[in-house]
Structure 1
Amino acid sequence: MMLQPQAQQQAQQHAPAPQPAQDPRHHPQAQQPPVPHQAHAQQAHPQQAWAGAGGYVSPIPVRPTHLGHALASEWTKIRSLRSTIWTLGVMVSLTVGIGLLATLAAGSTRVMDPLLGVGFVGVLLGSLCVITLGVLSISSEYGTGMIRTTLTACPSRARVLTAKAVVFFALALVLTTIATTVVALLDTALLRGPAPTTDQWLRATLGAGLYVALLGLLALAVGALLRHSAGAISTMMGVVLLPMLLALFLQGESVKDLQRVLIEYSVPSALAQLYDIPFLTTGPSGWTPLLILAGVTAVVLGGAYAAVAQRDV
């Protein structure tokens, strides 16, 4: 009976020592490099790798955003607003309607020189509608607070302003050019006069469309700076109409030079130059008024970019 404890002690001495539990993090298989196609799948689909680690994966695919998404968003906004339909509809009606009425009033027996100058008044009045839409395309979001949602969806403020400017300018340019082209075709078909040259055709159609679209883009930049619809629209109306009105009331030899400058560089006079209807014999002519407006618009739009980037909203 005394031999049994000694046998147990000898069995315990010769038994293999117990091994500690293996940590799965130090398991040999865990340190093996992933199979090449598995590593490529993890890089291509990081959400799946996160899901394998126990994280949540949204069913909505996540893609890096770019300017195309902002353009699509702004196009959806501008075509779904009632103000777009009303302002552009009235612009086309004024441009084509007043142009047609002026053509019919002139009559086919009267010789017109320049032949395409009849459409000037309709384009000038239609530009006021484009200016209004340019302001509303950005200031309305500040008025309703929608700009916070826009900037949350697209934190890049320069991208938002660029998308608004591109969409609005393209829409205004296309519709205005179509309207001016229709008026030019009516003038050449119903009026008698010297046949317009290629340069006159381009200035009365594409040139007028570019000028009106640039006015609208300038209004958009002013709306981004002021962030107030009524204030921005009033400012743009003053820019368009005030110089000519002041020139009409300035009388006397001492202010003749100032009167001449106000007339030469006013918006009505610059637009009339595109139709070869100079208010004065001096001043910019041909395509020069369009280049001047493009420079002014670029400066103001640059200020709008700087202001949008520095503001909280």
Structure 2
Amino acid sequence: MSTHQPPMPQAPHAAQAAPGGPYPGYTSPIPVVRTHLGHAVASEWTKIKSVRSTMWTLGVFVLLVLGIGLLSGSLVSANSGETSLSGENPLSFGFFGLLLGSICIITLGVLTTASEYGTGMIRTTMTACPSRARVLAAKAIVFFVLAFVVTLVSSGLVAMIHASMLENTGARTPTGGDWFKATVGVSLYIALLGLFSLLIGSIIRHSAGAITIMIGVVLAPLVLALFMATESLSKVREWLFEYSIPNQLSVFYANSLSESGPSGWDPLWIVLGLTAAAYGAAYALLHSRDV
């Protein structure tokens, strides 16, 4: 004899649920908001301040700028009786520390993007923020502001030390323009150079390769020019001297290595144009390649 099984009870459909939803009276404690660039900036700031490479590279940068600045100022002040600084800008001695320190900013810029590709962290970043343009913009903003502030503080301290230390050596009193270019101007240049490195890291996606390329960009033109001793290469040698990174950096101290070439604020516009071109390339490649 067959037995008739009664139908099993089923859960009510979502459409038949109470007006308050499947969990009436429940409100999530986590506010639901539309994400924006500020959230990506906060995320990138958390990442860049949490990794040890940031503290190491910026710490070495400050040490080089202040240490070499104090050393050069002390040597010039101690030998002021033998060396005349008549008419010289005392702030120009900050050039040496910033030139070496720029390698630290370049390294940090590359690591800000390329290291995420090396560790695979970029997949997590893109999952949390699918807008790749927003991620790139956030990285650029956070790094640029950090590099600018650290460079401004370091160069400002060195400039004040040199102005005080070398005031009795015959050097001229720096003008307001001298101060502005030796602090704000040079800080903008170094921060943009670091941002250019960040974008090269995003394009190359390899830390060692991108750092090597950037060190070559800084040093290779000047080194190549030193070996171009023939008359037939004089035009090329002169151009390499004029537009090398060290010469462009020295322009901010009115102490150019070449009589012609960039002057005034030209180096800032040059590095700004290069950075804008690299940003466009990094943005296009970020959208066309997989992570």
TM-score normalised over the length of structure 1: 0.82
Equivalent residue number for residue 27 of structure 1: none
Q: Alignment RMSD, CA only? A: 1.6
Shift of 1:285: 0.8
- How far apart, in 2, do the equivalents of 1:184 and 1:162 lie? 32
- How far apart, in 2, do the equivalents of 1:53 and 1:134 lie? 49
Which of 32, 46, 55 is 1:85 aligned to? 55
Shift of 1:62: 1.9
Equivalent residue number for residue 53 of structure 1: 21
Shift of 1:61: 2.7
Q: Residues 50 and 116 (structure 1 numbering): CA distance in 2 closer, same or farther, change over 3 Å?
A: farther
2:42 aligned with 1:72 = yes
- How far apart, in 1, do the equivalents of 2:199 and 2:43 lie? 19
- How far apart, in 1, do the equivalents of 2:91 and 2:77 lie? 14
Q: Residues 59 and 281 (structure 1 numbering): CA distance in 2 closer, same or farther, change over 3 Å?
A: same
Equivalent residue number for residue 229 of structure 1: 207
Equivalent residue number for residue 137 of structure 2: 162
Shift of 1:157: 0.3
Q: Residues 50 and 69 (structure 1 numbering): CA distance in 2 closer, same or farther, change over 3 Å?
A: farther
Q: Which amino acid aligns with 1:173?
A: F
2:261 aligned with 1:283 = yes
Question: Cα deviations across residues 224-258 of structure 1 (Å, max 9, x unaligned)?
Answer: 00000000000000000000000001111100000
TM-score normalised over the length of structure 2: 0.88
Shift of 1:115: 1.3
Number of equivalences:
265
Equivalent residue number for residue 281 of structure 2: 303
2:271 aligned with 1:293 = yes
Q: Residues 60 and 280 (structure 1 numbering): CA distance in 2 closer, same or farther, change over 3 Å?
A: same
Contact 1:50 1:57 in 2 (8 A): no
Higher alpha-carbon Rg: 1
- Summarize the alignment of residues 28-39 of structure 1 with structure 2, pairs less than 5 Å apart: none
Equivalent residue number for residue 260 of structure 1: 238
Equivalent residue number for residue 178 of structure 1: 153
Q: Which amino acid aligns with 1:257?
A: K
Contact 1:135 1:222 in 2 (8 A): yes
- Summarize the alignment of residues 80-229 of structure 1 with structure 2, pairs less than 5 Å apart: 80-107=50-77, 109=80, 110-112=83-85, 113-191=88-166, 192=169, 193-229=171-207
Name the % identity. 55
Q: Comparing both chains, which one has the higher relative contact order based on Cα–Cα distances under 8 Å and sequence gaps of 6 or more?
A: 2
Contact 1:99 1:119 in 2 (8 A): yes
Question: Cα deviations across residues 24-81 of structure 1 (Å, max 9, x unaligned)?
Answer: xxxxxxxxxxxxxxxxxxxxxxxxx998232797653321100110010000000011
- Structure with bigger helix share is 1
Question: Which residues of structure 2 form unaligned runs of 5+?
Answer: 1-16
Question: Which residues of structure 1 form unaligned runs of 5+?
Answer: 1-48
Contact 1:96 1:122 in 2 (8 A): yes
Contact 1:51 1:57 in 2 (8 A): no
